Amino acid sequence: MKPPKFDYYAPTDIDGALALIAEHGEDARFLAGGQSLVPMMNFRIAAPAALIDLNRIPALRGIHVDDAGSLHIGAMTRTRQLETDPEIAAANPLLHAAAAHIAHVQIRNRGTLGGSLAHADPAAELPGIALVCDAEILLHGPNGKRTVASDSFFDGVFSTAIADDEMITEIIFPPWPNQRRWGFQEISRRDGDFAMIGIAACFDIGGDGLIAGARLAAIGAGDTPLRLTSGEAVLTGQAPGQALFTDAAFAAIDDLRPGNDIHASAAYRREVGGVLVDRVLTEAWGRAL
Amino acid sequence: MTVLHRIKLTVNGNPQDCEIEARMTLADCLREILNMTGTHLGCEHGVCGACTVMVDGVAVRSCLMFAVQAVDAEITTIEGLARDGKLSALQQAFHDNFALQCGFCTPGFLTTAEAFLAENPVPTRAEVQRAISGNICRCTGYVSIVDAILDAAERLRAESTP
Amino acid sequence: MTGTAHKYIGKSVKRLEDERLLTGTGAYVDDLKLPGMAVMAILRSPHAHARIRGIDLSAARALPGVIDAFSAADIGPELPLIPIRLAPFEGFERFLQPPIAVGKVRYVGEPVAVVIASDRYVAEDALELIDIDLDPISAVTGIEQAVAGDVLIHEDAGENMGSRYTVGRGDAEAAFADAAYTRRERFVTNRHSAAPMETRGLIAEFDAGIPLLRLHGATKVTYFNRRHLAVAFDLPEAAVELIETDVGGGFGVRGELYPEDYLVPIASRRTGRPVKWIEDRRENLMATNHSRDIVCDLEIAATADGGILAMRATVQGDMGAYIRTNGGVVASRAAQFLPGPYRVPSFSCDVQFLITNKTPVGTLRGPGRFEANFCRERMLDLMADDLGIDPAELRLRNLLEPAELPYRIGELVPGDVNATFDPGDYPSALRRVLAEIGYDDWKDRQGDIIDGRAVGLGIACFIESSAAGPPETARITAAPDGGIEIRTGASSVGQGTETGLAQIGAEYLGIDIDRIGVLHGSSTLLASGGGTFHSRNTVMAGNAVRLAAEALRDRCVELASLRWNTEADELSYRDGAVHRPDEAAAEPLTLAELATFARSRGGKETLSADAAFENEGKLSYSYGAHAALVAVDVATGVVEVKRYVLAEEIGRALNPALVVGQAIGGMMQGLGGTLLDHMVYDEDGQLLTGSFADYLLPTSANLPDITAIALEEFPSEFNPMGFKGAGEGGIVAVAAAIGNAVALALKPHSIVINELPLTPDRLRALLRAVGA
């Protein structure tokens, strides 16, 4: 399983990368962590004529929390760092926890946040986390920068809003209130496999004791990660409790759009998606802060 | 016209010159160009872990990296684990705990475990099981491998305790 | 050999093989590089069933770096057919496979064309340039479809039924007619493959001038393969050398004759260069033997208090598109082992072998047994539930008692009419497992919810044969430098053959094990050999080494008598030397000194001895029990195996650590086979599980707390050292035990657990159907 030939470029800055993608267009692919692209090339399912290696661009690495409390993560940040970095754990505990579910440590040592979002596997964790956290994706193109909200970013299986001449440079997670409740669970065939179905949730409890800012997202349940707005609607403005969570789970099932594959049927994903919504909300509510 | 890249890799502390296509994976470069056949190919799609090496101290799938990407990195393979002809604590522990049978997956487990113990020198059994869950073994059923890694951790602690 | 203190036998001696494997200096076939070597890649059929209209190799041949390319048209018209080595049932001869597709392709993965190039990267580039014109035909992808025969896979055969026979004993019909209790169920064991970590590989050096065909990467049955390849290539046997390298696992699939065993030599002959072919994982999953694909319609008849009267079954094996070397082993063993270690006075089984458009089927660790045990043990639990009898109690009522052994089963074994279970105590092994897992603590809690999950403890009993096949050979040579070399006709696929045989050699020669080196498998080592399959190494190769050691000792005494000019019967051999009765007269003569002496004699002989061990087809039967404690998340269908206990009576352990390693390794493979491994084809015969992302193998995250017990209570009477094979007992009852555990955990829901694998999706579908 040897990959087909390609021309290899290793630019050292963003402009260099953009110039290369402009020059090669559709024939070129960016090489981030390579943990999704290289297997496809080894199977000869992907055969880009040119690879633009992003691993030598310092500007794409690094994390910082800005004055407003938003977490800025460079596109080439390794998922391993998301799992281990205390600054990220403090700035977004849901992202931190979910990262540990991604594949295995050897994959996380190379895989990147930007790469995962650009690859847009419907069963991948990070797109789901970006969606549930309302993250923004910063894109650089020949005409400058633009941000895309995550709920407009994923538009199909392995398909995103990134134009042919653009690249992700940064992902920005909104400020995370200390008291925010969160949870993430997925069901996979084995530890580290792609989720058959996974649910991420977060919500705040107002001073009135009622739920505000409820966000529910599913992975593995459609062509893209999905916001489960029907479930969110049930939660909003209500006092948290087991009965409410069960109702929200029931409603959320309507938002799932799962397909069948050899690992699980659509019926399984729908049913278990509901179970996980219930469990994740219960976990979130019960988590000590 | 095949474009060849002349690169310098540092493998087990030694500089190595190679002239290769960009598409040659790090695994194949080690095996075919540098004649270091200890790193094995089990799947070539990043699942089985047999090809695991250490790049700058962390475990990676060498079948999913191109050799040209590994310049400026310190690569450690199974051939670099023994020191001065003496088996490392991990290698010795694998031997003492019967943690290998056919041996094909073993290089990947050793490099994974080496990187793991460097980061987590006092692991629990559950942590070890999780740390090696990205490596497949068809022969041993894993129990002896987990035992070996815990054993090695103890030996390393004993060695470093004055 | 009871009551004698042993230095090596029965001890967990550390492995001789480890040093090179731990340091990355092993030599697996892909590690070898020969001067001038080229690399081969194979174009494999993308269709399950199609007529070949044309193959255009011109663009591939023209690619720089490509040395040669060929298809059937270039190497025909007379192509050899892959022979059947085992279980050659009548009718199979119509379904043999040529090494490359001729006129038709019959499974996804069948070789269609070959490219030889400077390296594998270029070879794969060339494969993409081959133009094949295929006319697809409807694919036969299921047993029922095969039986119906509307589409024929081998037209000349006139049917898709490879072979069919019936075995039985007693009078099943009468038993069923009168029985107070009967039950009938249909069980499905799914298609698996072994997926050893090392894929297959070969390097052929074909020099037509000498002539010489040397094939590296052979294993398992090198002498059989040599014999056959010599005929296929019209060479004398002495001109064919099968060389065994380090091997990355066998599990029954590696070492059999495959198309590539012909194609790689042909490539070398055509190009005049050594040619290497290494299977990649994508190929491995579609081209290396599959197994276990069995449907069993099983009926049981019993008395009102659960005494089995009869079993009646139809066993249908999905053999894939061709019958290859393992013939009908899988389904025939499934039939033969259906009664297991139980008292089943009447038995009748219709065994069918169906041809389909899938990868051909061969042996996989515990072939037929894994399947039979699942079917029978599930049925016993269903019967226990129906009759209100505790599952363990039911088994103890029906297991053959020690007094009933030996027990002949030859009626159920085609070709081995004298097959007989040897002495043992099956109930005792079950009791040991029940005690170890704490059965009494769990038997009244089946289906209880603990920490949010339903728990179940399932049990299963098994019996397993080993050490079949031809005699095994050994030669031991003592060198003047003190080194001792053991040559064996057996192979090593990673199970510690070198260590085990060195233990025996060291023990019987009375020397330090460090002096011993073991050479194995290659056909150049000895004139003949039996090979490694059916867990026979310890029994066959081990006893051959012992006989050779004893013969070497005798030779030493003979030489010493010449050297000292004394009567041989005054001398004795012990601890690596020959001793005179009056020690003061001379120092003992060591093996090294005797070897030197032998060299110095007129004929310059070596000090060596040959031996062969033959067990006259008397298989030994290991037996035992498994127990699994599972926790099932009813809402998600996820099964966790929390605790697993297995015991196997193996007669005598040569190396306890290696025996436990086999048991645990087998158990985890079995866990995969129950919950994960699944070769899935769509209705067009496309293999959907073509990578490790889809064909799932167990990892350390799946580990239960495992206890593997080797019982050494009944040394085998069929070999002097009392060994039985211990390589497969760990796997054979896993689906049975876990299947029963899951069924018991889900008892309140009354769902049917009759089909593997027990995936979350399957369990939830069953539960959903009953509203759970």
ipTM computed for the complex: 0.98
Record: contact C23-B87, CB cut-off 8 A: yes
Domain end call among B80, B100, B135:
B80
Residues for chain C: how many in total? 772
DSSP string, A1-31: -PPPP-EEE--SSHHHHHHHHHHHGGGEEEE
- The answer to whether C489 touches C472, Cβ cutoff 8 Å, is yes
Residue B70 and residue B95 share a domain: no
Q: Is residue C707 part of a domain?
A: yes
pLDDT, position C3: 45
**Contacts A277 to C, Cβ<8 Å:** none
- The answer to whether B66 touches B23, Cβ cutoff 8 Å, is yes
Buried b (16+ CB within 10 A) or exposed e, C98-109: bbbbbebbbbbb
The enclosing domain of C579 has a CATH number of 3.30.365.10
**Cα–Cα dist C554/C547, whole Å:** 11
Say yes or no: A199 contacts chain C, CB-CB below 8 A: no
Where does the pLDDT of residue C4 fall: very low under 50, low under 70, confident under 90, or very high at 90 and above? low
Residue pointed to by tokens 């040397």? C214
- The answer to whether A36 touches A42, Cβ cutoff 8 Å, is no
pLDDT, position C582: 80
Number of structural domains in chain C = 3
Residue C587 and residue C511 share a domain: yes
**Contacts C706 to B, Cβ<8 Å:** 141, 143
pLDDT tops 50 at residue B112: yes
Bridge partners of residue C755, in order along the sequence? C188
Paired tokens of B112: 């994974």
* Per-residue pLDDT reduced to its tens digit, C481-524: 999 999 999 999 999 999 999 999 999 999 999 999 999 999 99
Domain end call among B46, B80, B114:
B80
pLDDT, position A249: 98
Shortest Cα–Cα distance, A6 to chain C (Å): 12
Paired tokens of C352: 């069918």
**Cα–Cα dist C13/C243, whole Å:** 27
How many other C-beta atoms can be found within 10 angstroms of the C-beta atom of residue C395? Answer: 26
| Kind and range of the H or E run holding B5 | strand B5-11
Residue B23 and residue B54 share a domain: yes
Residue B113 and residue B71 share a domain: no
Residue B121 and residue B69 share a domain: no
Q: Which of A125, A143, A212, A219 is nearest to A177 (CA)?
A: A212
pLDDT, position C2: 44
Q: Is residue C15 part of a domain?
A: no
Domains in chain A, ordered, with CATH? 7-52 (3.30.43.10), 61-173 (3.30.465.10), 182-286 (3.30.390.50)
Residue B129 and residue B94 share a domain: yes
Number of structural domains in chain B = 2
Shortest Cα–Cα distance, A233 to chain B (Å): 38
Say yes or no: B134 contacts chain C, CB-CB below 8 A: yes
Residue C498 and residue C630 share a domain: no
Give the nearest chain A residue to B21 (CA atoms). A5
Q: Which of A33, A28, A40, A30 is nearest to A113 (CA)?
A: A33
First to last CA, chain C: 58
User: Three-class SS of residue C145?
Assistant: helix
Residue C577 and residue C518 share a domain: yes
Paired tokens of C70: 């060929």
Record: contact C196-B104, CB cut-off 8 A: yes
Mean pLDDT per 10-residue run, chain A (289 residues)?
98 98 95 98 98 98 96 98 97 98 98 98 98 98 97 97 97 96 98 97 96 97 98 98 98 97 97 98 91
* Per-residue pLDDT reduced to its tens digit, C749-768: 989 999 999 999 999 999 99
**Cα–Cα dist C620/C719, whole Å:** 9
Interface test with A, best of C43, C119, C127, C636 (most A CBs within 10 A): C636
Paired tokens of B85: 């002809």
Residue B93 and residue B75 share a domain: no
Residue C761 and residue C648 share a domain: yes
Residue C80: is it exposed, middle or buried by C-beta count within 10 angstroms (0-12/13-18/19+)? middle
Residue B151 and residue B93 share a domain: yes
Where does the pLDDT of residue C418 fall: very low under 50, low under 70, confident under 90, or very high at 90 and above? confident
**Cα–Cα dist C657/B147, whole Å:** 13
Shortest Cα–Cα distance, C741 to chain A (Å): 19
Q: Is the peptide bond before C406 cis (omega within 30 degrees of 0)?
A: yes
Say yes or no: C33 contacts chain B, CB-CB below 8 A: yes
Q: Is residue C398 part of a domain?
A: yes
Residue B75 and residue B33 share a domain: yes
**How does strand C38-44 pair with strand C275-278?**
parallel
Residue pointed to by tokens 């910082």? A64
* Per-residue pLDDT reduced to its tens digit, C529-541: 999 988 899 999 9
For chain B, list residues whose CB is within 8 angstroms of any CB belonging to chain A. 2-3, 5, 21-23, 25, 28, 44-46, 49, 52, 55, 58-61, 63-66, 68-69, 112, 116, 130-131, 133-134
Q: Is the peptide bond before B107 cis (omega within 30 degrees of 0)?
A: no
Record: contact A268-C701, CB cut-off 8 A: no
pLDDT, position C467: 85
How many other C-beta atoms can be found within 10 angstroms of the C-beta atom of residue C76? Answer: 12
Shortest Cα–Cα distance, A255 to chain B (Å): 32
Instruction: Provide the CB-side half-sphere exposure for C647 (13 A, CA).
Output: 21
Say yes or no: B101 contacts chain C, CB-CB below 8 A: yes
- The answer to whether B21 touches B4, Cβ cutoff 8 Å, is yes
CB-nearest partner of B100 from C22, C693, C697:
C22
Strand order in the sheet with A63-65: A63-65, A71-74, A167-173, A136-141, A144-149
pLDDT, position A288: 78
First to last CA, chain A: 48
**Contacts A119 to B, Cβ<8 Å:** none
Record: contact C760-A196, CB cut-off 8 A: yes
Positive or negative: CA dihedral A101, A102, A105, A109: negative
Q: Which of C756, C767, C761 is nearest to A270 (CA)?
A: C761
Say yes or no: B122 contacts chain C, CB-CB below 8 A: no
Say yes or no: C770 contacts chain A, CB-CB below 8 A: no
Domain end call among C574, C597, C613:
C613
pLDDT, position C603: 81
Say yes or no: A5 contacts chain C, CB-CB below 8 A: yes
* Per-residue pLDDT reduced to its tens digit, C560-615: 999 999 999 989 999 999 999 887 677 899 999 999 999 999 788 999 999 999 98
The enclosing domain of B34 has a CATH number of 3.10.20.30
Residue C73 and residue C85 share a domain: yes
Say yes or no: A68 contacts chain C, CB-CB below 8 A: no
How many other C-beta atoms can be found within 10 angstroms of the C-beta atom of residue C524? Answer: 16
Range of the structural domain that residue B126 is part of: 89-160
**Cα–Cα dist C745/C748, whole Å:** 8
DSSP string, C535-551: T-IIIIIHHHHHHHHHH
Residue C214 and residue C85 share a domain: yes
Q: Is residue C496 part of a domain?
A: yes
Range of the structural domain that residue C100 is part of: 32-137+199-247+254-287
Residue B98 and residue B155 share a domain: yes
Q: Average of pLDDT values for B66-82?
A: 97
pLDDT, position C540: 93
Q: Which of A249, A240, A244, A243 is nearest to A272 (CA)?
A: A249
Q: Is residue C397 part of a domain?
A: yes
Compute CA distances C606 → C104, C219, C549, whole Å: 55, 28, 15
CB-nearest partner of A2 from C124, C676, C678:
C124
Interface test with B, best of C125, C700, C731 (most B CBs within 10 A): C700
Q: Is residue C393 part of a domain?
A: yes
* Per-residue pLDDT reduced to its tens digit, C43-94: 999 999 999 999 999 999 999 999 999 999 999 788 999 999 999 999 999 9
Q: Report the predicted TM-score, pTM, of the whole model to 2 decimal places.
A: 0.97
Residue C657 and residue C682 share a domain: yes
**Cα–Cα dist C394/B20, whole Å:** 67
Q: Which of C608, C497, C446 is nearest to C219 (CA)?
A: C497
Shortest Cα–Cα distance, B106 to chain A (Å): 15
Residue C624 and residue C594 share a domain: no
**Cα–Cα dist A191/B127, whole Å:** 13
Strands (E), chain A: 7-9, 28-31, 50-53, 63-65, 71-74, 136-141, 144-149, 154-156, 159-160, 167-173, 181-188, 195-205, 211-219, 226-227
Record: contact B139-C33, CB cut-off 8 A: no
The enclosing domain of B125 has a CATH number of 1.10.150.120
CB-nearest partner of C282 from A1, A193, A271:
A1
Residue pointed to by tokens 């019959």? C106
Say yes or no: B110 contacts chain C, CB-CB below 8 A: yes
Bridge partners of residue C290, in order along the sequence? C193, C361
**Cα–Cα dist B107/B51, whole Å:** 8
Residue pointed to by tokens 């697809």? C136
Paired tokens of C705: 């707390």
Residue B72 and residue B104 share a domain: no
Q: Is residue C186 part of a domain?
A: no
**Contacts C759 to A, Cβ<8 Å:** 189, 263
Say yes or no: A86 contacts chain B, CB-CB below 8 A: no
Residue A11: is it exposed, middle or buried by C-beta count within 10 angstroms (0-12/13-18/19+)? middle
Paired tokens of B126: 């559950």
Q: Helix axis angle, A266-286 relative to A242-252, nearest 10°?
A: 150
CB contacts < 8 A, A to B, total 87
Say yes or no: C665 contacts chain B, CB-CB below 8 A: yes
How many other C-beta atoms can be found within 10 angstroms of the C-beta atom of residue A167? Answer: 24
**How does strand C638-649 pair with strand C705-711?**
parallel
Q: Is residue C379 part of a domain?
A: yes
Domain end call among B28, B62, B80:
B80
- The answer to whether B111 touches B54, Cβ cutoff 8 Å, is yes
Record: contact A1-C280, CB cut-off 8 A: yes
Strand order in the sheet with C449-450: C449-450, C453-466, C620-633, C638-649, C705-711
pLDDT, position C765: 98
Say yes or no: A2 contacts chain B, CB-CB below 8 A: yes
Contacts of C609 (CB under 8 A, 6+ apart): C475, C476, C548, C549, C551, C552, C554, C555
Say yes or no: B73 contacts chain C, CB-CB below 8 A: no
Residue C593 and residue C491 share a domain: yes
CB-nearest partner of C701 from A187, A190, A264:
A190
Say yes or no: B105 contacts chain C, CB-CB below 8 A: yes
Residue B136 and residue B69 share a domain: no
Residue C566 and residue C548 share a domain: yes
Q: Which of C290, C463, C488 is nearest to C369 (CA)?
A: C463
Paired tokens of C131: 């133009």
Compute CA distances B100 → B81, B108, C160, C248, whole Å: 16, 12, 43, 11
- The answer to whether C554 touches C483, Cβ cutoff 8 Å, is no
| Kind and range of the H or E run holding C408 | strand C407-408
pLDDT, position C754: 98
Say yes or no: B21 contacts chain C, CB-CB below 8 A: yes
Shortest Cα–Cα distance, C431 to chain A (Å): 33
Positive or negative: CA dihedral B88, B89, B90, B92: positive
Which residue blocks in C219-278 are alpha helix, DSSP H? 222-232, 260-271
* Per-residue pLDDT reduced to its tens digit, C143-200: 999 999 999 999 999 999 999 999 999 999 999 999 999 999 999 999 999 999 999 9
Record: contact B40-C249, CB cut-off 8 A: no
**Contacts A4 to C, Cβ<8 Å:** 124-125, 128
